[in-house]
Structure 1
Amino acid sequence: MMTPMGTMSDATDEPIEKIEKIVRYLKLIVFLIVIVPMVALAAIMQLRFQSVKEDPNFHMPSVRDAARVDIDSLPWHPVSGQTLYVPAYSHIFHQDGVPRLLTVTLSVRNTDRKNEIIVSSVKYFDSSGKEVRSMLRKPLKLSPLASTEFVVEQKDKKGGSGASFIVDWQSGQPVSHPVVESVMIDTSNAQGISFVRSATVLDEVAKPE
């Protein structure tokens, strides 16, 4: 007894329709679980960044104002000061040694509540110890409790995984030492990364007896 052609075609189309339905269902799940959260996260980060930019206390890196002033020479003979080494990481390695590029922010904070300090030199070095560039054109005066930042952009690969800063600061009075740190961050992927490294003292101007 022969089976009608229409019946065989219907039987063949039914599994295909089921497969297509499953594929559409899986795509919907991926969209809801992966795409929607990523878009929402990006929107939230954009809103947060915009709110920070609109904050009256927000300032761009290396800004110059009443608390951060370029000067031509030291206004006094330094009685205290330091030369600092600050580790920096233009990239780190992850997975099978794949480099992950990072944005580097060098933060210099005057912790003294009464006296100014002068940041006289900030130099950026690569992994081989060669100077990449100077981050300061003139000495920078920081008022009491003022701070400044220097940024190495994520796309700047010159420093490498063993990059560093050498920072020199001085003061005309005995002061509390500034806090100098490098902050590395990357938020380009769904899972961000950030970490901080503190300065190490290489040389120090002795306080007067």
Structure 2
Amino acid sequence: MIVYAIYLDGRVDAVQKISSPTDLEGDDRPRSDLYHLDANPVEGQTVYVPAYSHVYHGAGAPYLLTITLSVRNTSLDSEISVTSVRYFNTEGREVKSYLDKPVRLPALGTTEVVVDRDDTSGGSGANFLVEWHAARPVTEPIIEAVMISTNAQQGISFARRGSVIKVAVSQGEAAPQPPAEASERSD
């Protein structure tokens, strides 16, 4: 019985050491030896953003939506330039270009484009193409469309995040070569 009590006492001490927060490795103090890198740094992109000027409900009736395109610079210390924001309709035709000149976004800055609820030119398959560039590699901005509408006591809202379809590459880096023309190929 004494041996068993000593054994249990040893097990309890071991459990207390493991569960004691002061004995856990690491602490909450910032480490001065860590160096933080930007996540997936890039110098520019073309981003496809799905949007909806309306969705269908009931017997196929359109429910009109206001679209807010939001471009958010996630860099902590660098600005980016939004160089193009183009709006396309369901058939893939450009409806409107929103920028006459580039918009500079400071670190953590945001710009928005609003498509009014009554503007149905985009259709249910509307989309934006957003191009942006930076002077040096930065973290990717968050680019998304938020659709919203309210009617009486009902409301609808949802968001769609953009997808990168092109990445800007510095000329000093090895960029993929465009495919050779058929006339240049040797068969």
TM range (shorter): 0.5 to 0.7
| 1:3-24 deviation per Cα after TM superposition (whole angstroms, max 9, x unaligned) | xxxxxxxxxxxxxxxxxxxxxx
Q: 1:161, 1:183 → 2: CA distance?
A: 14
In terms of fraction of residues, the more helix-rich structure is: 1
- Indicate whether 1:140 and 2:103 are aligned: yes
Match for residue 116 of structure 1 among 61, 79, 87? 79
**1:144-182 CA distance string (max 9 Å, x none):** 000010000001010000000000000011100000000
**Count of aligned pairs between the two proteins:** 131
Cα distance per residue 1:48-73 (max 9 Å; x no partner): xxxxxxxxxxxxxxxxxxxxxxxxxx
Q: TM-score, normalization: structure 2?
A: 0.68
Query: What SS does the aligned partner of 2:111 have?
Result: strand
How far residue 206 of structure 1 moved from its aligned partner, in angstroms, is 2.9
Match of 1:170 among 110, 133, 136: 133
Q: Output aligned runs, 1:79-90, within 5 Å.
A: 80-90=43-53
CA distance in 2, matches of 1:174, 1:200: 19
Gapped regions of structure 2 (runs ≥ 5): 1-41, 174-187
Cα-Cα RMSD: 1.2
For 1:189 and 1:90, locate their aligned partners in 2 and report how far apart those are by CA, in whole Å. 19
- Please give the TM-score of this superposition, normalised by the length of structure 1: 0.61
List runs of 5+ in structure 1 lacking aligned partners.
1-78
SS of residue in 1 equivalent to 2:138:
coil
| Equivalent AA in structure 2 for residue 106 of structure 1 | L
Identity of aligned residues (%): 53
1:144, 1:106 → 2: CA distance? Answer: 18
CA–CA separation in structure 2 for the residues paired with 1:112 and 1:189:
40
Measured in 2, the distance between the counterparts of 1:189 and 1:117 equals: 40
Instruction: Report the equivalent of 2:33.
Output: none
1:188 CA displacement: 2.2
**Which residue is equivalent to 1:129?**
92
